[in-house]
Amino acid sequence: MNFKIITVVFLFSALSSAAELSFEAEKTIYKCPPGAAYPIIECEELEKTVLPLKLELADLGDGYFQGNWEDFESAHFEVLASVFDNIYTGHTLSLNISAGYNESTALNNGVYSECDPFHPPFTFLVQGSPKPEDGYELVPVLVLTGLKYSGP
């Protein structure tokens, strides 16, 4: 009986420490002919920014950690990361990654993934919906690479 109580206390103290997710975010705006399906191949790159980022994941209690990054400079790019303790699979990293010209188009063009936080997929690519401009379409694309998680 005492062994179980010690185990629960140890698990709780491990989950209450800080967590962090680091990655590189590559934001690109492409100028495309109308209807282009693959901007990276078919279009002209207008603007590109590469940012190394670290998300501090706040401890929300009950084994949940959450943090997000938003960028509104030329379009809407967003990453929301949550880590939670799943009683069946252990820790789970939940990622919502989106790109668009405003929040509503970004939400409709997002990628959602759940994975092992200690072995996350290396790359995510999100293509936002096009915005018509002067006979062309401007397409925001967000690529995340090098995801690394540190924490409980």
Helices marked H in the chain — which ranges? Answer: 2-15, 39-42, 103-108
Longest dimension (CA), the chain: 72
- Listed as ranges, residues in the chain with pLDDT below 70 are 1-17
| CB-count exposure of residue 112 (10 Å: 0-12, 13-18, 19+) | exposed
pTM (two decimals): 0.80
- Tally of structural domains, the chain: 1
Please give the pLDDT value at position 101.
87
Domain of residue 80: give its range. 2-150
Please give the pLDDT value at position 16.
44
